Amino acid sequence: MSDSRTVTAFAPASIGNVGVGFDMLGLAIAGAGDRVSARRVPGPGVRIAEVRGLDGEVHPTLSADADGNTASVAAAALWLAAGGDGGLELVVRKGVPLQSGMGSSAASAVAGAVAANALLERPLPLRELLPFALAGEKVASGGIHADNVAPSLIGGMVLCPPVLLPRMIALPTPQGISSVLLHPDLLVSTAESRRKLARGYSMDQWLTQQGYLAGFIAALEAGDVDLLRECLQDVIIEPQRASSVPCFPAVKEAALAAGALGSSLSGSGPSVFALCEDQLAPRVRVAMEQACRGFGYDCQSWVSPLNAPGAHLEELP
Amino acid sequence: MSDSRTVTAFAPASIGNVGVGFDMLGLAIAGAGDRVSARRVPGPGVRIAEVRGLDGEVHPTLSADADGNTASVAAAALWLAAGGDGGLELVVRKGVPLQSGMGSSAASAVAGAVAANALLERPLPLRELLPFALAGEKVASGGIHADNVAPSLIGGMVLCPPVLLPRMIALPTPQGISSVLLHPDLLVSTAESRRKLARGYSMDQWLTQQGYLAGFIAALEAGDVDLLRECLQDVIIEPQRASSVPCFPAVKEAALAAGALGSSLSGSGPSVFALCEDQLAPRVRVAMEQACRGFGYDCQSWVSPLNAPGAHLEELP
């Protein structure tokens, strides 16, 4: 308990599914993320001192209940497993909007695990934090899917099929391709969106989607932009979710018209992403924003390289 | 018609599906294949002079009817499309056993197209022969699947999802890995085997299989043998087809016990393949043969590098 440091971890927002890889593909974004500061305190357990929002004020909806926050659940899971001495107190600063499809709960979980890890006598390697971050994420999503946690943890484009967990496969990220992520100002519940998905699929349906995913991975490896464009398709999940995001068809169409390689919902939405060649990113971003505002929704957007960094400790002033 | 050459094309047998990639992944093998010799003759159309078997004798079951042989249908499709002058006469030499799951009909179709192509005034690039070879293959299989035609044409491990045709994506083939292909002496009808497959699948089922395929492709790219071992699985098709090949479970188990990375049916069977590290290939091969003979079936087998060559013209003595 002689360690009185406060450490702060940043974990980025992320694009779940990346359109083509439901539940198994994720992409880190740059410039948006959650921060969790941690310090050791007497007594057992992990508690949350406060949760603050983008504006620096106390967060209007997220509770500081340690059992219900993904950051503290992840931190506590690690602290318990690694035999951390005493307790932890966390301050959570949300930079990722809630229920945005931007991996908000995952970013908090990852930042919580990374901050707690830094206060262990023998911190674990970053990749070994995955199960603890997933334990946190589970509080929010109710299931074990790593398509937000994995890219938030290790950055870049990550393949993480549930059947291969805890493997996280960092895919090659071709030079010259950017992601554009647009967040319209409306809410979608991931858990509810999941419950609405059909349970049965024809062989044609899944073979088509599997063909696109297989081709997409090969295209990333080969840096084949034409093949990326052809394969960035979601014929299964997107059609089922599009109706819950009224502006989605217009935003997607605007992205494609501006030259994007492809566009789909980020996670369960409402956020919409596009991939495009770097030089087109400003044009694609403006087109998506205009289409969204044309629908009457305010919005924010981010442009990122495909190899955006994952979670890391920050020096605070 | 001044061209009186006889040209001979060889096209290899192949492993359809490669276990993990139903209808979209194929692997060329070395040492077994069909040969088609072609020469120009007066008059229109493509005819077959004779079809001979492995023993050099007239083939006991394959007819020389040009409309029913995949070699002549492929050759005719190309000859017609490319405006070939006059007619063609073919001699087909089957080196691939029929209904073996080794891509027998595809090998004939590819060899037919490659031989006819060589007699055109302006032969097409090899990859552009795909649609003509597929037209031939369709006579036998009734559908458009390139998982045998594509590797037989261009060699190696090929990703060729139906939704991306006519694309054929040559996947990287890590050094140090061999395929072992065992052909038990029994027959399975591909078309009938296909009709028996279930039509509907749960999301869990297809996401599991899609995860394995995605991981397998990433593993090929990374040369990650552990990941190949983990991903070389077929949880959807193999369980439905295993019962039609009584020796399959024993042969697969023998391959795995001998150290193979994975094993499954080749196409719709009865052939069984395994992938293994090069130095284990002799042991895996013997183990598979012994298991098969223990079941009372005679068998043949082949060991190939993952980058086995595709179709090519041969100089005949």
Q: Which of A144, A203, A204, A233 is most worth mutating to test chain B (most B CB atoms within 10 A of its CB)?
A: A203
Q: Are B159 and A206 inside 8 Å of each other by CB?
A: no
Among the ranges B73-77, B94-98, B240-244, which has the highest mean pLDDT value? Answer: B73-77
Q: Which of B145, B147, B168, B217 is most worth mutating to test chain A (most A CB atoms within 10 A of its CB)?
A: B217
Residue A219 DSSP label: H
Structure tokens at B126: 């090899």
* CATH 3.30.70.890 domain position(s) in chain A: 177-305
Q: Are B215 and A162 inside 8 Å of each other by CB?
A: no
Distance (Å) from the alpha carbon of B271 to chain A's nearest alpha carbon = 23
Q: Which of B165, B167, B227, B234 is most worth mutating to test chain A (most A CB atoms within 10 A of its CB)?
A: B167
Confidence check: pLDDT of B1 > 60: no
Q: SS3 of B144, please?
A: coil
For the residues B237-263, what does the mean pLDDT come to?
96
The predicted structure's pLDDT at residue A316: 61
For the residues B28-53, what does the mean pLDDT come to?
94
Confidence check: pLDDT of B2 > 70: no
Q: Are B159 and A214 inside 8 Å of each other by CB?
A: yes
Chain A residues with CB under 8 Å of B207 CB are 22-24, 161-163
Closest Cβ–Cβ partner in B25, B203, B227 for A201: B203
B299 contact partners, CB below 8 Å, separation of at least 6? B182, B183, B184, B185, B289, B292, B293
How many alpha carbons fall within 13 Å on the CB side of residue A245?
35
Q: SS3 of B217, please?
A: helix
* CATH 3.30.230.10 domain position(s) in chain A: 6-171
Q: Are B214 and A23 inside 8 Å of each other by CB?
A: no
CATH 3.30.70.890 fits B177-305, yes or no: yes
The predicted structure's pLDDT at residue A2: 62
Prediction ipTM score = 0.93
Among B residues 188-247, those touching chain A with beta carbons less than 8 Å apart: 197-203, 206-215, 217-218, 221-222, 227, 230-231
Q: Are A214 and B172 inside 8 Å of each other by CB?
A: no
Strands (E) across chain A are located at: 6-16, 25-41, 46-52, 87-93, 157-159, 169-170, 177-184, 200-202, 262-265, 272-277, 299-305, 312-314
B145 contact partners, CB below 8 Å, separation of at least 6? B16, B23, B137, B162
For each of chain A's 317 residues, which pLDDT tens digit applies?
567 899 999 999 999 999 999 999 999 999 999 999 999 999 889 999 999 987 788 887 777 787 889 999 999 999 999 988 899 999 999 999 988 999 999 999 999 999 999 999 999 999 999 999 999 999 887 777 899 999 999 999 999 999 999 999 999 999 999 999 999 998 877 777 788 898 889 999 999 999 999 999 999 999 999 999 999 999 999 999 998 899 999 999 999 999 999 999 999 999 999 999 999 999 999 999 999 999 999 999 999 999 999 999 997 65
Question: So what CATH class is A6-171?
Answer: alpha beta
The predicted structure's pLDDT at residue A317: 52
Q: Are B164 and A211 inside 8 Å of each other by CB?
A: yes
CA of B216: which chain A residue's CA is closest? A214
Cα A276 to Cα A50: distance, rounded to the nearest angstrom? 39
Per-residue pLDDT tens over the stretch A4-58 = 899 999 999 999 999 999 999 999 999 999 999 999 999 889 999 999 987 788 8
Average pLDDT for chain B: 93
Cα–Cα nearest to B155, from B91, B210, B103: B103
Per-residue pLDDT tens over the stretch B137-182 = 998 877 778 999 999 999 999 999 999 999 999 999 999 999 999 9
Confidence check: pLDDT of B64 > 80: no
Higher pLDDT, B59 or A179: A179
The predicted structure's pLDDT at residue B151: 98
Closest Cβ–Cβ partner in A161, A218, A227 for B211: A161
Per-residue pLDDT tens over the stretch B185-221 = 988 777 777 888 998 899 999 999 999 999 999 999 9
